Amino acid sequence: MNVLFATTSADSLGSGHPTGLWLDEFTIPYTALSKAGVTISVASPKGGPVPIDPKSIPSEAKRAKWFGALVALLSTRKLSEMTADGFDAIFVPGGHGPMIDLPHDANLQRLVAELDANGKLVAAVCHGAAALLNVRKANGHLFLEGRRLTGFTATEERLIGLKAVVPFMLEDALKSRGANFSSSLVPFFPYVVRDGNLITGQNPASATRIAMELLAALQGATPARLSPQPPVTPAVMTDGLTAP
């Protein structure tokens, strides 16, 4: 099993607001899939080290736990160098960085379209879904048209105080592309949607769940309409409330 993780290279939202990859959304799936024997390649628009959102810098304990994932972020390949050959899935983690560079990256659009055309898996969590906004199929139709998915909601964006900072509201943009958007009834709860070969997670609290759903799909498990939501602990809510 081979999965391509596509990350952002953007480190600023403008107006002095730093951004980048939201680390948990990369490290949790990377660690879970690696432990299950999945081979992971990491690529970004510029290649090289991936900028990390400073609000997601890990504790020393997490650094040790995520050592392999952190090393992988130090030297990524360029998306322009990648082909879809040999990959069973592509996964796009979030952070606000993906809103800046990934919606307009032709190489990423090419990879997603080719993998989708071959029946491979396409997955994204939180703002990573921004990477799918402009992907088109071979027939010219938008990849998102009529697809069921989720992502960071407009309500969550307002609650963390970044409505006036982000270049667009992700939920609104996804809906404008014809997507059938749904989300947890309560902001910052874990929520994952699987629609055929498309798997999406709503927010940072969904990182573990989307890793499980992606692994199950790689192993050939039957798709579920919506993965069940576990009780949300105060720790999970804290992670969500400090999300990008």
Q: What three-state secondary structure class fits 195?
A: strand
Which is it for strands 192-195 and 198-201: parallel, antiparallel or unpaired?
Answer: antiparallel
Closest CA to 107 of 43, 25, 19: 43
Closest CA to 239 of 182, 191, 190, 192: 190
Residues in the chain, how many?
Answer: 244
Report how far residue 176's alpha carbon sits from residue 150's, in angstroms, rounded to the nearest whole number. Answer: 13
What is the DSSP secondary structure assignment for residue 187, as one 8-state letter?
T
Q: Active-site residue numbers?
A: 126-127, 157
